[in-house]
Amino acid sequence: MIKKQLKNIVYNSLTVDECDERWMTMIEHFNLENNDWLKSLYEQRNKWIPVYVKDKFWAGMSTSQRSESMNAFFDEYVHSKTSLKQFVEQYDNALKKKIEKEKHLDFGSFNSMIPVITGYPIERQFQSFYTNNLFKLFQDEIRGLMFCNTSLVRQEGVAFIFEVVETLLGKNGDPIRDASFRVHYTELDCQVKCLCHLFEFRGILCRHVISVLIRMKVIEVPMNYIMDRWRKDIKHGYQSITNIYDEYVCDEERHRYNILTPLIQEVQQLGANNDDSCSILVKILKDAKEKLIAIQTDHSRADQLKEASTSSSKTIHSPLKVRSRGRPPTKRKQSKIEQIVKKSVAKARKKVIEGPTVSVEELTNMENGKHDSLIIHDEQLTKTFFSCCAKSNPRRNAASGDDWRFAFAAGTKGPVNDSFKSSPKSKSVDSRGSSRYSDPAQNGETSLNSDSRRTPDRLPPQPPH
């Protein structure tokens, strides 16, 4: 019970006065006035209780946390029986592994981006500057906005004082209590300060400040609230220093950095001797900085123009031919009508080459799919066909049939000769009262002894109009 109460005082106190009051209440409740250990802790409370030190920047570290991260850092390399020689070697391997891991994280931050949750302009701003790990911590504060209720307490000129009531949750997600935080906001220079001091302690804006900024419709946060140590677009100085864990062959940028570093340090020492030297050196460095920026801008423009010229001169080739699935169009299985039309067109072309008996207009109509062009210019054959059709179907006037029907009959039965006209025909009546001829060909039947391929002498059905 004492442990739970002490832990609650240490980690859940929002102000110094609240911590002192709750401490005294605990001492009186459990009669611990004569406890020397608690007395010594209370005397040094400004060195270890978070509420006393959270107004200073500690990058999230605190004096009460255990050094488990450092212990885990060496767990894979050393153990209790490691000798001194092995420890030196393994220590170098551990540092090399740490550098490789840091480079890997930097590569991930530059080449990948975590999606936003709310789409607020403030969140997108931090997304473009923060590393991926820090942006995940910032998104935790964004998610906490749903548990905050912001209200204006009073206004003093350009200064506003807000009260943000947050519902604190337990481990199981059940609400424990409501905590009130005061946020001071200055509209002139967009300065904010919260009672929780999360930004001063960890360098990240808290959910209470974010809720006030959203209420005041702030689109962009001042850059002083984005610390350089959390930014992914800034290369830190220690990353350019040559160390024993790098490869033997340094890159060109690292080589140039190694040349400039000792020279700048010497100039820095000369400029720090007196005020005149310092002012002269500052002026020289500012002029050099402007010239280098101008040169870098010209180089970037030249590179863009070169890239644009090379991209415009590139030839665009047609895409490669890829064989489609299924049967090729040239090998498609044709219907009977298409075969007839194809043969008729081929015959007509052959006649045009040998002796033009078909006009150009008729040949064109034949290629366009007009079936009336299939009529062979043989007057005797035409008369014979219509007479046969009239005899085989007395109820139908053969002359009134469509031209494509004639093309179908002519293509399937072949040419009709004079013997077909003069062949004897004896007509009989079957049991159903229908007329039949003695010649099987006249009834649409094919003789078994005949070598010719004949189809029934029936006209195809009318096409739909």
Q: pTM for the whole thing?
A: 0.53
pLDDT at 417: 44
Three-state DSSP at 465 gives coil
pLDDT tens sequence across 279-306: 999 999 999 988 988 888 887 777 777 7
pLDDT at 361: 56
pLDDT at 214: 93
Contacts with 197 (C-beta within 8 Å, 6 or more apart), sequence order: 54, 55
Q: Is the pLDDT of residue 153 over 90?
A: yes
Q: Is the pLDDT of residue 239 over 80?
A: no
pLDDT at 299: 78
Lowest mean pLDDT among 28-32, 92-96, 173-177, 375-379: 375-379
Lowest mean pLDDT among 169-173, 257-261, 408-412: 408-412
pLDDT at 430: 47
For residues 126 and 76, which has the higher predicted lDDT (pLDDT)? 126
Domain residue extents for the chain:
1-53, 113-234, 242-280, 355-465
The length of the chain, given as a count of residues: 465
Retrieve residue 318's tokens: 């047609």
Query: What average pLDDT does the chain have?
Result: 75
Q: Is the pLDDT of residue 313 over 70?
A: no
Q: Is the pLDDT of residue 68 over 60?
A: no
Beta bridge partners of 429: 435
Mean per-residue pLDDT, 352-364: 58
- Spatial separation of the C-alpha atoms in residues 48 and 64, rounded to whole Å: 6
pLDDT at 89: 82
Beta bridge partners of 49: none
Retrieve residue 1's tokens: 């019970």
Mean per-residue pLDDT, 366-392: 47
pLDDT tens sequence across 198-220: 999 889 999 999 999 999 999 99
Beta bridge partners of 72: none
- CA 54 vs. chain centroid, Å, equals 40
pLDDT tens sequence across 414-447: 444 444 444 444 444 444 444 444 444 444 444 4
Lowest mean pLDDT among 236-250, 315-329, 347-361: 236-250
User: Are the C-beta atoms of residues 179 and 14 closer than 8 Å to each other?
Assistant: yes
Helices within 316-378 (DSSP H only): 336-354, 360-367
pLDDT at 465: 53
pLDDT at 379: 47
For residues 366 and 184, which has the higher predicted lDDT (pLDDT)? 184
Instruction: Return the percentage of the chain with pLDDT > 70, whole number.
Output: 66
Helices within 75-173 (DSSP H only): 84-111, 121-129, 132-143
For residues 275 and 64, which has the higher predicted lDDT (pLDDT)? 275
For residues 369 and 10, which has the higher predicted lDDT (pLDDT)? 10
Q: Is the pLDDT of residue 241 over 90?
A: no
pLDDT at 446: 44
Helices within 130-185 (DSSP H only): 132-143
For residues 422 and 352, which has the higher predicted lDDT (pLDDT)? 352
pLDDT tens sequence across 164-203: 999 988 878 788 888 899 999 998 888 999 999 999 988 9
Q: Is the pLDDT of residue 142 over 70?
A: yes
